[in-house]
A and B are shown apart, each in its own frame.
Chain A
C-alpha cells in the first residue's frame, strides 16, 4: 500500500512540475520573441510576468539578463545595471557570471561612467575564474577608454589582444589626428594667432595676428607721443583684449578640432564597425 501511495505521490508531483515548467517555457519563448522583435517594453512586461509566476526561480538568470538588455536597448542604463546585477547574483555558471559582469561594464561604457567601467575591468582581470578571458576584458577596457576620449590608452588595450587589431589601428589614427590644446595655447602666448593657425583656422589666426599688431602699434605710438594714459588704456582695453582673445581662441579651436576627430571615429564605430559594440 505504501509503495502505491508513493507511486501516486510521485506521479502527482511529476505532472505538476512538468505542466508548470512547460507553461513557463512557453511564456519565456513568448517574451524572447518580443525581445527578438525589438518590442522591449512588452518584452520586459512578459519577462516580469514570467518572473512573478516562476516560483521555482528556474529562469531567474535569463529573465534578469534579458530585462537588463531591454533596458539597455531603451537607454535606461541605471535600470539595466540593476537587472544585470540581479542576473549576476542568480548566475549558475562562471560563464553566466562573466556575461552579466561584462554587460554591466558595457552599460557603464554607454552611460559614460568610464571610470566605473575601467574599475570593473580591473576587478574582472584579477579574478582567477576569468583568467582565460583576458582578451574580452581588454576589448571592453579599450572601448571604455574610447568613450573616455583616451584613444592612446585604448590603442594599448587593443594591442594586448592583437597588435593588428582593427580597433587598435583606429585608436592610433585618432590619437595622432588630435592636436595638443596646451601647445596651441603656448604658441599663441608667443605669437598671437599661431595657435589658431596650428589647428587649421588660418583666416582667424591671421586676423588675430593683424589686430594684435595694430593695437600694439597704437599702444607704442601713444607712449612715443608721451600720451602715457592713452597708451595704458589702449593696451588694457584693446591690445590685451585681442591678446587674451587669441589665446582663448587657440584653446577653443583645439578642443573643437579634437571633438571633430573623436566624433568622426565614433561615427565610424557606430555605423560601419562590424565587431561587438557596448
Chain B
C-alpha cells in the first residue's frame, strides 16, 4: 500500500516536470516555428487553394529552397502561370521534364506557358522539337500549334492539315475562320481615293460609310454652289471664302476616303482577331484541365 502511494507520488512529480517540458519541445519541433518548411508548405497550399497565387508562389519557393517535392514544383510553376508570369512558369515546368511522375503534364504546361507569351513563332519551333514532346498530350500541343496560326500573321498551312486536329463540332466554324484569314474581305485604298476624286463622297460610300459619303457630297456641292452665286452677286470676299471651303471639303473628302478604307480594313482585322480569340478562349484552346 505504502509502496503504491510512493510510486504514485513519484509518478506525479515526474509527470509534473516532464509534461511541460515535452509540451514545449513538441511545440518547437512541430509547429512552434510558423516559418518552418512544413508550415510554409501548409500555408502555401492554403493560399494556392484560395487562388492567391502570387503569395503561394513565394511560400513554395521558400519551401523548395530546403525541400524537394515535384508536386510543389508543379504548383509553383502553375502559380506563376496563373498570374501571367509565363517565362518563370515555363522554366519551372521545364525542371520536371525528366525523372518526374508529372513529366507529361509539365510538358503540356510548358507549351501552354510558351504559347501564352504570344511569341507564336518560338512556340511553333519548340512544338516541333522532339526532345520536349509529350506522348500523352502530343495531340493537344499539335492542336495548339495550329491555333497559333490563327493568332499571328504567319502563312496558314494546308486547310485539311489544320482542320483535322479539331473536333467535328467546330469544323464549319473553323473553316469559316480559315477562309476569312486566307482571303480577308478588305477594301482597296486606291479604289476609294479614285472614287472620291471623281465623285466626292463615293469613296466613303464604297467603304460602307454611306452617311458620311452623302454629307461629303452635299458639303462640297453646296459650298461650290455658294462660291459661284456669291461671285455672280459680286461678293468677292464671300466668293473666295466659299471657294476655299469647297476646296477644303473636296480635299478632305479624298483624304477621308483613304482614311476610311484604312479604318475599315483595321476594323475587319480587329474584329476577326477578337472573334477568333474569343472562340478559342471560350473553349480553353481545346486544352485539358490540369491541376495538382
Contacts and interface: CB of A to CB of B under 8 A. Distances in A.
A28 B24 CA distance: 21
B279 interface: no
Contact of A19 (B19, B23, B219, B238): B23
Contacts of B47: 48
B31 interface: yes
B52 interface: yes
A30 B219 CA distance: 73
Given A1-B8, A48-B52, A237-B222, A11 B24 contact: no
The range of chain B's interface size is 20 to 34
Interface stretch (A93-101, A182-190, A225-233, A269-277): A225-233
B222 A225 contact: no
Interface string A216-256: 00100000010101100110010000000000000000000
Contacts of B8: 1, 4
A202 interface: no
A227 B233 contact: yes
Interface string B37-51: 001001100110000
Contacts of A233: 222, 225-226
A86 to B, nearest CB: 13
Contact of B58 (A16, A45, A218, A230): A45
B27 A20 contact: yes
A25 to B, nearest CB: 12
Contact of A218 (B12, B23, B225, B238): B238
Contacts of B20: 11-12, 15
A19 B27 contact: yes
Interface string A44-59: 1100110011000000
The range of chain A's interface size is 20 to 34
B229 A227 contact: yes
Interface in A33-73: 44-45, 48-49, 52-53
B32 interface: yes
Interface string B1-20: 00000001000100110011
Nearest to B28: A19
Given A4-B12, A8-B19, A19-B23, A49 B43 contact: yes
Contacts of A225: 233
Contacts of A12: 19-20, 23
B16 A49 contact: no
A267 interface: no
B278 interface: no
A265 B8 CA distance: 80
A52 B27 contact: no
B24 A15 contact: yes
Nearest to A16: B23
A230 B230 contact: yes
26 contacts: A4-B12, A7-B16, A8-B12, A8-B16, A8-B19, A11-B19, A11-B20, A12-B19, A12-B23, A15-B23, A16-B23, A23-B32, A45-B55, A48-B47, A49-B34, A49-B43, A52-B43, A53-B31, A53-B34, A53-B43, A225-B233, A227-B229, A227-B233, A234-B226, A237-B219, A237-B222
